[in-house]
Structure 1
Amino acid sequence: MGRNWISKFYCLLFGVLTIQLASAETVQERFEMAEEKQLADPRGAIRLLEKNENAFFNDERESASVPFKHFFLLFQLYIKIDQYDQAQAIYEKLNTKTDFHNTHAAWLALMGTQIELHQNKTMASDELMTPYLNDYTCLEDQALSMWYYYVLGSLQARSNEYAGAFSSLSKADELATQLNNKNVKIQIQDQLVILYYEQHRYDKGLDASQVMMDLVEEVGDEYGRLRALVNLMNMNYLLAVEVAESNPAMNHEKDPEYLKHFNASVTYKEQVLKMVDRLDSINAKIRALIFLQNQQLAQDDIDGTIKYAKQTIELAEQNGRIYERAISLNNLAIGLMFKGEYEESRKILKEAEEYYKQTDNKRSLLWIPEDLSKSYELEGDYKTALDYYKKYNTNAHLFYQNANREKVIELQTKFETQKKNQEIENLNHQAALDAKQLEKERMGRWLLIVCLVAVFLISMTLFVKRNKLNALLRKQRALTEEVAEMGKAKQRFFVNISHEFRTALTLSVGALRELSQVLNTEHDQSRSTFEVALNNNLHMISLLNEVMMMERLENNQMPVNVMKIEPVKIIESVMERFESLLSNKNISLNCAIEDVDGEIYFDPSHFEKSFCNLLSNAVKFSPKNSEIKIELINQSNRLIVNVIDNGPGIADSEKGLVFKRFFQGSESMNKAQPGAGIGLSMVKELMMLHHGEVNLINNEAAGCTGTLTIMKGKSHYDKDSIVIREVDNSNEQSDSINVELDRIMRTGASQLNHFGNDKNPADKEELVDSLNQAIIAKPMIAESNDLIESGSGQSQTGRANIDSKDKAHDNEQRPVIMLVDDNIGIRHLLRSALQQDYHIVEAENGKEALVLARSLQPDLIISDILMPELNGLELTQKLRECPELAHLSIILLTALGELNDTVKGLNSGADDYIVKPFDSEELVARVRSHLTQKKRLSNSLYKSFVKSHQSQPSIRVVEQQSVKRCKKLEAIISENLGQCEFDVEQMYQSMNMTRSTLFRYTNKVYGCSPKNLLKKRRLEASYEMLQERQGSVSEIAYAVGFQSLSSFSRAFREHYQQAPTQISVPEKMAIAQSS
């Protein structure tokens, strides 16, 4: 019995030992089979190793038979197929095994670092490996060192430490080659692709992707092949984008390099989508879908972006990928924003913001206010957009400012922590510490790491986000400049369109006036038709002036010329302009106008426009065969002007809108009444400028009453802001003269049309002569008024008696400007801007201009560039090459506005370069500046010439008569010779003579008039300066007092029988100059 029991015991013991040996062999066999399958069939390898895992954790007796490398391989396989939760579970279980933790702490730190990297916790990752640096770098265990340098390179890549990452990965690759570990070599190439992507070295990234593809195909790694395909797809697409952006001609779709990379990207994308579903790789699938989102967004395929974003959101939600879901929500919101669904977009952005907060990714949180700003900007809510942009700018600034400050603290703490860890390690080598004490110290370090992790993450994103912040700051500046430029562009648009219309209308008005004057018929009907057309053209010009006036009112640039006015005369004048329109609609005017008590101070043009607008609206909305009543009512301190019509009145819903700009009432639109809706708005602005009011009130019966309320006197005006001009009798007298001249011109032209062959020729000649005198006298009277208003020093009698000969002489003395352009409209526009102060000559092309320049010697040339036969640049070069014309001032006026065009134009010899569309005031200012500069140079030249000739006698004694007076006259002429304003009047005033006395004196002594004597002295001085080469012809002309180069050339040729350019240097002077 006892022996039987002993036998059974040995059999049982033998069975247990046999089972243990079989189990040990099974564990090792599973590991070897898993190693063989890890690349080609990672899921099969996992199933084998999971059996060892169950045996290890569930059976304490078998735990010692499972080596640590089994779990490390299983951990890496879980990461390979994107099962990070399973990998983390293994890591946490191994940490509970004290024996494993003590003997494999360095390996566990590597595993923990990989988990933290997956969770974007780079700071914690670095701290985990720090205590074991000696183990990693001593190279005693090459496999441990290989994995350390690989994980360290991945960490440095995430932290933008590119140099360190390349170094670490290079060391890892060398060790992997020595150990023949293809799995690590594949992962190293994957990290290199990420590094090259961060550095925008896409060509290198493509090479690394191809190396990775070669490796995975060699070993049959399907999951590695999927990652390599994703990398090839990304790199080829980024290279295609790079080619497209670098192609200045914007024809990249035909570029072979672009097509190669773009088509390759599409091919790889299709392969990725097929493999993702087959392998069920969540990480690769999400990476591919996020890439597709960005790709579709870059190609403006909003629907594609939304489609892939929704797929990614669903997949990320199913697998607990919070950060990837936040990114996809962000892209979805951007897509909806560009589709115009702004509210939904902003709602999704708020949801993405909550997910970003869960990941504690402060860099990603900065994207939310930026995208919200863009959403409100696209919607047109610029105020809210600017508020969000300011919020983004402020947060980004604080983000990087704190990162800079906290990075220093973190580095100091890191150094201290490393030093402390070294001391702990030294103590561990000296003596074994109590396990509980070690655990307490380790927990303390972990608490410190948790406190600093946020600071470390912020500092690691500093360099990446800095570029983005700078780009956004540039964008903000560009936006500010764009808003300012929009304001300027708006003003330029009004000016340019007004000039275009004004040019056409001016031509039309001129033609109608000529036809109206020459029309010779016995009936007034044709002439009346022409007058209607002429009045309507003038009305169109007035409308253009209203547009410009509204622009000036909006920019607070409206000039206000307040003076005493007579409202009755202005009202009657406006009513006369409406006679034709009133007659066509058979509308009668009932005027109840009282004499005005007191003085009315108002800008006459503003009062006329205001009343004209009310009367125009009344006529517009009044039915045919009706009546318009005009009342002028005096009150103690104000004047009221009423315009009462019988029209439809104003709807109750529109009463508060009639004075808003561009508003047109329902009656105006229903009856297709012409108008832009700016008239009443303008009237309100003008009345406010003069402290008045305008109102529109419905009548009890029918129609509407428009009321202008004007304050009497001038005490209500602010003298600091508005200048009140007092009108004297001389102006009133000149106004009456102008009125009479207008009457003569109107009635005379009408009578001339009715003259036939049977009329008395003498009467006809007398009528023509009176018309001519009126036409000549009117501009002279206008000029006289301008002189009076500007406070000229001339006497009233002298201004009123300007004769036509002096007027012609002044026109002749004006500077000559040549306009060169093949577009007649541009030439007319330039002429209208310059002809008031200058004598204008026109040429259609450069060839014609060159011929005219030789004969006319203009003071300044304004030329276009693109012209037939001879363009502006060629004309400039030929003028500069010609000695006779090289001195002329040239301004190029063209539509070529690029910087290189401007440089090219100035290098050709032009003095200035103006780009179309141009501002007329700027053009006139530049022309005046050039001519003024030339005059200053000439005056300086003449003073230098006079100074150098002071020792020479400047007085010619004629017949020994009146030597003293003669010397005085010559001295006065010599002192003022360079002043173009010096004339005969100043000459006899300086001599204390009357004009007639000076005339008799110069005729007796010099045998010529004072005017010719002054001209002779100027020509003599110019002759000497030309001989001495004191300057160019134009500079000398201005230096001796001529205002126009053409008049100087003509006078010089008449006096010396040769052109100024033909004067040669005297022989003695030439010898002196050559020596």
Structure 2
Amino acid sequence: MDGIQPTNFANFQKLATGQYSLEVKSRDKEFNIDPTPASITFRVLPIWWKSTPFLLLASLAIAIISFLQFRVLTHIKSLKNLNLKLEGKSEQLEEKNEKIEHQRDQLRKKVAQIEKLSQSRLRFFTNITHEFRTPISLILAPLEFLKSKSSLQDAENRRKYYDIIQRNANRLLLLINQILEIYKVEENTMAFSPAPGELSAHVRQIVDLFEGLAQQQHVALIFESGNEALWAEYDQDKIEKILFNLLSNAFKNVPSFGEIKVKLKTSDRQPVDGSKTAEPTIVFSVTDNGRGIPQEYISKVFDRFFHYENDGNVRIHKGTGIGLSYIKDLCKTHHGAISVESDPGVATTFTLYIPYIAVEQLQIKNPENPPGFIALSPTIHSAVADLSQSLIQDVIEEEQSTTTAQKDEKPKLLVVDDDSDMRTVLRMSFEHNYQIFEAKDGLEALNLARKENPELIISDIMMAAMDGIELCKKLKNDFNTSHIPIILLSAKTRAENKINGYESGADGYVEKPFNVKLLKSRVHTLIRNRNTLIKRFLTDINLKPEEMAIASVDEIFIQHAVKCVERHMDDESLDADSMAKEIGVSRIQLYRKIKSISGQTVNEFIKSIRLKHAARLLMQKQLTISQIAYSTGFSAPNHFATYFKKHFGTTPTAYVQQNLKKDSAPNN
């Protein structure tokens, strides 16, 4: 502010911060101005937030905040980097965990594979052991006969035994060779020896070997080739073994007057199982109209020792138990494949595919006499001969069994086994003392048992149509056959197999290979014990039906029969007709059942029960002999005395005296 102001008051506002000097001059009324001004110095202080301390503090605060923010940002960045590192490590850990889990899964799979392989090998060797037992039995049993002096007198029987021994020795040799070749396949050491040859003629030669067997079995054997001459490179040994196994399998399953067809052709299509067989392809097929294979088992038929149940255990390849698996191994060795199609009861076709290498590629200069065209091996000749002898033996034994059955009155023994040699050995072992009937499987045996009512049955377990376990169950649950003792023969030796056999109702379980004398003893003992039990039941006045060691069906029947007689004890008119009507069976069923259990006719059985009751009354000494005779259904006392003596071997009076002496005798 400068100049003269008309007031003696000054107000300074909005002065900037700083140092100020205020000079004031006075003037009088005459306008005279004092030359010496009055002055004052003052300072305008800044606003607090503009003050230096504040600014310093603010700067310090800003610096601190900036530092802290920097530290925070640095820490956040560090945390982010650490988090990224952790995420990276986490991913690495997850990858490692995944790898560990994958390795663990792989380890589990390998352990499972090892266990499966171990179980498979265990089953393989267990089943191989079972397969060995039957041919070994069929070697040991004939040798046992040949060692005895009596068997040497019959030259015809000696020849039969020698034939059986030879066939089963060959069977063992074939099985051993197959096992060795399976081992070679697993170790990838099986030799593959292809050579040029005329395949069509070779296959025809193999088929022709079976022609005699086809005629014996009344089977139409047909061979069809799409090529008059098919020159190719192939392994002769492998093809012979494959076709032999397929044809023998077909003959074992085809019925009489059935058909087996073998086809050979070339094709450009791939095999149905998707394997990478080279094109073009040679296609073999073997078709039979036997019982067939259910669709649910088609994928498993090439597994070793696979069998499926069809009213019992039916082994797909009856013979070695590894036939179809062995064929598959041979096909793989030949860089081929095999498949099967089946319509049960209509037809089953096995189809083999192998690579076709044409004659031009072989550069055969002389097609009239090409290399590789050789005769069939001696092994296949021997194998077909043994197969033919084994199968034709079924027909011969059937005829012999029928002829013997018509003439022989000896006790009946039913032998059940799908191996004709085993039936022959068993027949020749027992034919001197028993009338022998034979059956190839459980179904045939069931019908034969119902028809012939044998004294005892000896049955194998593993058979077609119906196995021994199922046969045993059906026989023991059938009113007409429940009384027949059954001995099971089996190559299965484990405890659970024996338990299964006994639980099915078997009276005995004999392992293969078996001792013939021991088996004979078991058969004779079972029949003797049964006869002893019957005799005791008829003479022991205190023995009740439920105390007899017989099948539950028989026990119930005997209880009904005894109670029926007891209800009509004083009725002398009780006979077979009235008894059958009251029990609820036919007269024939009543007769057969009473005869099979007690060895008596119905009337004899009724008299036996009456006499047992009479014996009990005699011991009570409350009635006279005449009263007892009339109360037990006898028309006269003298008739009663006659029957009583015949039954107990003594008179009624002597019977009482003898038993009183026994009761009064001091115990030692």
**TM-score relative to the length of structure 2:** 0.30
**TM-score relative to the length of structure 1:** 0.20
Which of structures 1 and 2 has the larger relative contact order (alpha carbons within 8 angstroms, sep 6+)?
2
Higher Cα radius of gyration = 2
Q: Which one has a larger percent helix, Structure 1 or Structure 2?
A: 1
